[in-house]
């Protein structure tokens, strides 16, 4: 299947944008930059808009989700919007009892820990994704030539929340399940892969020009466990949208040892967190992959000269790769001064891109 003729990638609105050009390994006219979690708590306009509305409700109100997605594009002049939502939205749409508790994160009414628990998990209907499609369509109509990036949680991270029932530091629950009940784990990972794949596909078909799979907790895994128990599910998620032809990014935190396996799951672009220099990531990937990253979010609070030196070093390392999209090595901290992000975008745009 291909995208509709009115899709921004097909009608020319975003196909020649700096972001899509860089994602596809071309030579952009200007260095593309966007930030994970650029839409959200660091922006006063976001806090004002969200007042009195819980997180999941804000994700499922199309007009609000669209407005939040657009806010950082207007303020910072970034080269892409990232769709405002949450990785547990597919669970909510399916009818799983889940909420995002302020100061805690996603919390399930009942954790999923047995084969019977997995067997009774609901499946969402295609119509349940309509609020997502509507929010994407509203956003794309306002963005013009700026691409929208769709996203989904990778199956391991989604399933880890489901097993623990809440955020966890070490993710012992899902890691134990892999080895003590491997069939139950694979059934749960398959459920999460199907849900995330459908969620991402709805965004891409509705107008997103690229997609990113977030594996926030994969860094808790050994390479052997990732390859044996997780890579197949991530491959299924990405395969669910591969036929659409949009660039696909795969990002995780603490995943320096997993980068080749994450790329091999079906990614066109590999996201690199702040722990690993881009030149080392490039070496581990054989010098063949477009990279995204990896400014350290902690330095956003540093004196400007310290941040500028760090950013310029990231740009120089990115110049020695097959392609580079500038981003943070994780999300924007909620206490970040928005003016710093705007100034950072201006700095990145002021440095001519490398010849490729």
Position 59 pLDDT exceeds 90: yes
170 compared with 76, residue with greater pLDDT: 76
For 271-293, how does the pLDDT look when each residue is reduced to its tens digit (9 = 90+)?
999 999 999 999 999 999 999 99
Name the catalytic one among 13, 37, 175, 201: 37
Domain 18-347 sits in CATH at: 3.20.20.210
The two tokens of residue 216 are 């926030």
161 is known as an active-site residue:
yes
Quick check: helix, strand or coil at residue 155?
Answer: helix
For 177-194, how does the pLDDT look when each residue is reduced to its tens digit (9 = 90+)?
999 999 999 999 999 999
264 is known as an active-site residue:
no
pLDDT of 169: 82
DSSP 33: B
37 is known as an active-site residue:
yes
Average pLDDT, integer, range 126-146: 98
Position 167 pLDDT exceeds 90: no
Provide the residue ranges of all domains of the chain, joining segments of one domain with +. 18-347
Position 353 pLDDT exceeds 90: yes
pLDDT of 245: 97
The answer to whether 200 and 211 have CB atoms below 8 angstroms apart is yes
pLDDT of 168: 84
The confidence band for 44, taking pLDDT boundaries of 50, 70 and 90, is very high
How far is residue 121's CA from residue 100's CA, in Å, rounded to a whole number? 19
Name the catalytic one among 50, 186, 343, 356: 50
How far is residue 235's CA from residue 155's CA, in Å, rounded to a whole number? 10
pLDDT of 134: 98
Name the catalytic one among 13, 23, 75, 161: 161
How far is residue 166's CA from residue 105's CA, in Å, rounded to a whole number? 7
How far is residue 33's CA from residue 51's CA, in Å, rounded to a whole number? 29
Give me the chain's average pLDDT, please: 96
Edge-to-edge strand ranges of the sheet holding 290-295: 81-82, 148-153, 210-215, 248-252, 269-271, 290-295, 324-328
- H/E stretch holding 151 reads strand 148-153
Name the catalytic one among 79, 86, 268, 273: 86
Average pLDDT, integer, range 315-324: 97
Provide, rounded to the nearest whole percent, the portion of the chain with pLDDT above 70. 100
Average pLDDT, integer, range 309-332: 97
Name the catalytic one among 24, 30, 41, 343: 41
**DSSP per-residue string spanning 313-343:** HHHHHHTTSS-EEEEESSPPPTT--HHHHHH
274 is known as an active-site residue:
no
The confidence band for 313, taking pLDDT boundaries of 50, 70 and 90, is very high
Position 170 pLDDT exceeds 90: no
């Amino acid at each position: 299947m291909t995208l509709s003729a009115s899709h921004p990638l097909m009608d020319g609105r975003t196909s020649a944008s700096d972001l899509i050009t860089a994602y596809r390994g071309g030579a952009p006219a200007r260095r593309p930059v966007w930030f994970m979690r650029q839409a959200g708590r660091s922006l006063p306009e976001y806090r004002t808009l969200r007042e009195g509305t819980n997180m999941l409700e804000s994700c499922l109100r199309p007009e609000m989700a669209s407005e939040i997605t657009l806010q950082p594009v207007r303020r910072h002049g970034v080269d892409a919007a990232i769709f405002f939502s949450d990785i547990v939205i597919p669970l909510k749409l399916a009818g799983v009892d889940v909420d995002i508790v302020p100061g805690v994160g996603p919390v399930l009414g009942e954790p999923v820990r047995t084969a019977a628990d997995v067997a009774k998990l609901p499946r969402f209907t295609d119509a349940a994704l309509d609020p997502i499609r509507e929010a994407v369509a509203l956003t794309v109509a306002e963005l013009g030539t700026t691409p929208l990036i769709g996203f989904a949680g990778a199956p391991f991270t989604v399933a880890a929340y489901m097993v623990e029932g809440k955020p966890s530091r070490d993710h012992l629950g899902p890691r134990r399940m892999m080895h003590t009940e491997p069939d139950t784990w694979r059934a749960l990972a398959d459920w999460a892969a199907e849900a995330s794949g459908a969620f991402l596909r709805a965004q891409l078909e509705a107008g997103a020009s690229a997609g990113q799979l977030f594996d926030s907790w994969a860094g808790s895994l050994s390479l052997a466990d990732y390859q044996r128990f997780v890579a197949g599910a991530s491959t299924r998620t990405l395969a669910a949208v591969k036929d659409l032809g949009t660039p696909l990014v795969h990002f995780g935190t603490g995943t320096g040892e997993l980068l080749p396996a994450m790329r091999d799951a079906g990614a066109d672009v590999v996201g690199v967190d702040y722990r690993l220099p881009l030149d080392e990531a490039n070496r581990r990937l054989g010098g063949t992959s477009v990279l995204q990253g990896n400014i350290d979010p902690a330095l956003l609070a540093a004196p400007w000269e310290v941040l500028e030196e760090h950013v310029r070093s990231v740009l120089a390392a990115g110049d020695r790769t097959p392609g580079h999209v500038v981003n943070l090595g994780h999300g924007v901290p909620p206490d970040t001064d928005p003016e710093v992000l705007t100034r950072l975008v201006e700095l990145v745009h002021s440095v001519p891109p490398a010849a490729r």
